[in-house]
Chains A and B, each alone.
Chain A
């Protein structure tokens, strides 16, 4: 019976799609394994259900292209996957369409969307799809008694070898403070002070000579695989995929992880607003988010998706739940990236960080 209804629903949706004359929307994301997970979990099923087409484009983050398109009145993109800082900043500057969370479908268990999404995962202009995290990882085939805490990352005496760090003060300063013994919930209040910043830089200074700096998310797994570094910070999904798809002997240390969100936003004046809005609702639905989690280890932003998260798409024995940033075991000593702090201080800290690097 259920099958019949599903079929009927699909048929109906297809009919509606045809009646609307199939539309083509442009969805922009970060590329690589991450875009692939979205294509598999969002684009393909949505295209099958509605008859519309999704064109996927890659970008490297940031608001400059959105700003250029909106200010020139020539918007080409319908939906963009952005970081929280850009979602809030774009909204404040009037570059993004506003959305109403109450228009979004309720969770599979009937919880209204506003309660089903994790706290803080939607704003006036954006809805999150995933929770990702900056963690650090090492190659377990090269280190028998590997590191287990964030302090070990900065301990080159007991854990010798090069360290990979992102060439950006973000996450590095927080991790430095946590390694220096600051509790996760006090990190940002310490960083608010001049002494706190000094303290974080002093901690980074202690390993500066051993650091290999990376910029793109694809680099850290490569650095580890090449043996260029003994351990490196990375985005958890990239390390997970290297382990799951390429059987790399990498181990993630969750202690001191810094988690953050990726959200959908729509530029002001998007060419296919309605279809893109439908896609946004579909792709942040309980099932779509749970399906995405079988392609990459980023946690779904809806509570109702968590119980549905299964195993890796081509490895039924690999359960995904324990690999999510949001898994209870992984959250023991974790920090949420504080957008307000970075929006206020990033220009100054970037300069200070770059000056520190140049010394």
Chain B
């Protein structure tokens, strides 16, 4: 009797426990729900949607449905048939009426330069054309006889396409689905990607070299003095990036403060002033200055927590200053160093205002190209693909960092 009651009691208890646990979890979940929703709505969904555009483009297939259908059966090598021309004519009439022909023209022009006006000018006349379209359409522009145009349309008609990612990597998607290297004169993205990594790496190294002694000083001085110095670190941090960047322009330009001083002290001649800005050097100087607080602050907070007694103990056991520093002090600063380095590097890799203003021709980075595709060429798909590649590179470096230094080793404060 009693045993059965015990079992029932146990079950009941288990149930109650489960319920209590569930309620706790629910409460915890409800507490993080707002931030989760916030992240989802303003971060994950938009960015996900945007990155999706890097592989998805329905411009051509939605505006030119008939052509798309017939092109999917075409082998991309035989001569275009009357049916293909007829489908093109039908789609063009509709696209002309809906004012969407410009979108199609822009889309195909990305794959085959020089076709934009082919589409817009033919569309203007297409409603007056009569069958056989295989003759009447090329009569408007004989370029329609060119099989390249049809191949470009076939490439553009793919909804899911690796073409943009290929372009982001200086490759080219051909109509038969194969991928080849881009024409040598147009290979630009890999150059910029390498340069972006190089600049970010150098900026991180410079920030480390400059920031480490400053952080050490801040952490070891008496609180009163160090607080004052900390304000000097934070003050630029609170100033607008634009203001700091333009201030560097005033400092570094040929007729700027630095060059004036160099001329004044006779280090250089008046007509041989140094080019300190509108090149890679300018980008490096300005970005190092702007990102320096990102290195100093984590280093400072970690150094602050290192008891001075350790170094004293090392010295009392006979270590020289040098050994005490390298063997005892420096290893303890690794978490702050790692945090600072990764912060600076990741912020630097996506930097764009400063290189745009002071980079000139050799100091601009991949984000400036992404910006150009967003605002000028309006090629958002390619911008998405470039951003995707950049994100993959960052994630890879993050993974590498985790393998070498270990992410648990990072301390932000």
B113 and A345 form a contact (CB under 8 A): yes
The contact of B376 among A62, A228, A352, by CB within 8 Å, is A62
Q: Which residues of A contact B254 (CB under 8 A)?
A: 226-228
Q: Separation in Å of the B146 CB from the closest CB of chain A? A: 14
Q: Which residues of A contact B186 (CB under 8 A)?
A: 348, 351-352, 355
A226 and B99 form a contact (CB under 8 A): no
B116 and A344 form a contact (CB under 8 A): yes
Nearest CB in chain A to that of B188: its residue: A355
Interchain CA distance A67-B375 in the complex, whole Å: 10
Of A7-15, A42-50, A88-96, A242-250, the one touching chain B: A88-96
B99 and A94 form a contact (CB under 8 A): yes
Interchain CA distance A343-B187 in the complex, whole Å: 21
Interchain CA distance A93-B99 in the complex, whole Å: 6
Q: Which residues of B contact A348 (CB under 8 A)?
A: 113, 186
Q: Which residues of A contact B110 (CB under 8 A)?
A: 347
| Most B CB within 10 A of own CB, among A92, A93, A167 | A92
Q: Which residues of B contact A62 (CB under 8 A)?
A: 375-376, 378
B360 and A213 form a contact (CB under 8 A): yes
Known: A213-B361, A347-B377. A358 touches B191 (CB 8 A): yes
Nearest CB in chain A to that of B105: its residue: A92
Q: Does B248 contact A (CB under 8 A)?
A: no
Q: Which residues of A contact B255 (CB under 8 A)?
A: 226-228
Q: Separation in Å of the B360 CB from the closest CB of chain A? A: 6
Q: Does B122 contact A (CB under 8 A)?
A: no
| Most A CB within 10 A of own CB, among B113, B115, B255 | B113
Q: Does B120 contact A (CB under 8 A)?
A: yes
Q: Does A26 contact B (CB under 8 A)?
A: no
Nearest CB in chain A to that of B255: its residue: A226
The contact of A344 among B109, B361, B376, by CB within 8 Å, is B109
Number of A residues, CB within 8 Å of B: 31
Q: Which residues of B contact A89 (CB under 8 A)?
A: 102, 106
The B181-203 residues at the A interface (CB cut-off 8 A) are 185-188, 191-192, 195
Q: Does B66 contact A (CB under 8 A)?
A: no
Q: Does A156 contact B (CB under 8 A)?
A: no
Q: Separation in Å of the A221 CB from the closest CB of chain B? A: 15
The contact of B378 among A63, A228, A345, A355, by CB within 8 Å, is A63
Q: Which residues of A contact B369 (CB under 8 A)?
A: 354
The A182-228 residues at the B interface (CB cut-off 8 A) are 212-213, 226-228
How many chain B residues sit at the interface, stated as a range, is: 35 or more
The contact of A358 among B101, B103, B188, B378, by CB within 8 Å, is B188
The B291-339 residues at the A interface (CB cut-off 8 A) are none
Q: Which residues of B contact A92 (CB under 8 A)?
A: 99, 101-103, 105, 120
A352 and B185 form a contact (CB under 8 A): yes
Nearest CB in chain B to that of A355: its residue: B188
Q: Separation in Å of the A140 CB from the closest CB of chain B? A: 19
Interchain CA distance A212-B115 in the complex, whole Å: 33
B377 and A355 form a contact (CB under 8 A): no
The A311-359 residues at the B interface (CB cut-off 8 A) are 340, 343-352, 354-358
Interchain CA distance A67-B377 in the complex, whole Å: 12
A64 and B185 form a contact (CB under 8 A): no
B377 and A94 form a contact (CB under 8 A): no
Nearest CB in chain A to that of B187: its residue: A355
Q: Which residues of A contact B101 (CB under 8 A)?
A: 92
Q: Which residues of B contact A350 (CB under 8 A)?
A: 372, 377
Interchain CA distance A64-B113 in the complex, whole Å: 21
Q: Does B406 contact A (CB under 8 A)?
A: no
Interchain CA distance A285-B191 in the complex, whole Å: 50
Interchain CA distance A344-B278 in the complex, whole Å: 31
Interchain CA distance A63-B375 in the complex, whole Å: 7
Q: Which residues of B contact A227 (CB under 8 A)?
A: 254-255
B117 and A344 form a contact (CB under 8 A): yes
Q: Mark B75-114, 1 if CB is under 8 A from A, else 0.
A: 0000000000000000000000011111101100110011
Nearest CB in chain B to that of A65: its residue: B375
Interchain CA distance A81-B110 in the complex, whole Å: 26
Q: Does B253 contact A (CB under 8 A)?
A: yes
Q: Does B379 contact A (CB under 8 A)?
A: yes
The contact of A94 among B100, B120, B188, B379, by CB within 8 Å, is B100
Q: Which residues of A contact B375 (CB under 8 A)?
A: 62, 64
| Most A CB within 10 A of own CB, among B185, B253, B369, B372 | B185
Q: Separation in Å of the A211 CB from the closest CB of chain B? A: 8
Interchain CA distance A93-B254 in the complex, whole Å: 45
Q: Separation in Å of the B362 CB from the closest CB of chain A? A: 7
Known: A227-B255, A228-B254. A355 touches B191 (CB 8 A): yes
Q: Which residues of A contact B410 (CB under 8 A)?
A: none
Interchain CA distance A167-B362 in the complex, whole Å: 12
Q: Separation in Å of the A288 CB from the closest CB of chain B? A: 30
Q: Which residues of A contact B377 (CB under 8 A)?
A: 346-347, 350
Interchain CA distance A90-B195 in the complex, whole Å: 35
A67 and B99 form a contact (CB under 8 A): no
Known: A226-B253, A358-B191. A64 touches B374 (CB 8 A): yes
B98 and A351 form a contact (CB under 8 A): no
Interchain CA distance A15-B116 in the complex, whole Å: 49
Interchain CA distance A356-B186 in the complex, whole Å: 9
The B38-79 residues at the A interface (CB cut-off 8 A) are none
> What are 9 A-B contacts defined by CB distance under 8 Å?
A92-B103, A93-B103, A213-B278, A213-B360, A344-B109, A344-B113, A344-B115, A344-B117, A352-B186
Interface residues of B (CB under 8 A from A): 98-103, 105-106, 109-110, 113-117, 120, 185-188, 191-192, 195, 253-255, 278, 360-362, 369, 372, 374-379
Interface residues of A (CB under 8 A from B): 62-64, 67, 89, 91-94, 167, 212-213, 226-228, 340, 343-352, 354-358
4 new A-B pairs (CB below 8 Å) besides A343-B117, A344-B115, A347-B379? Answer: A62-B375, A167-B361, A228-B253, A343-B116
Pairs of residues from A and B, 4 with the lowest C-beta to C-beta distance, nearest first = A92-B102, A94-B99, A348-B113, A93-B102
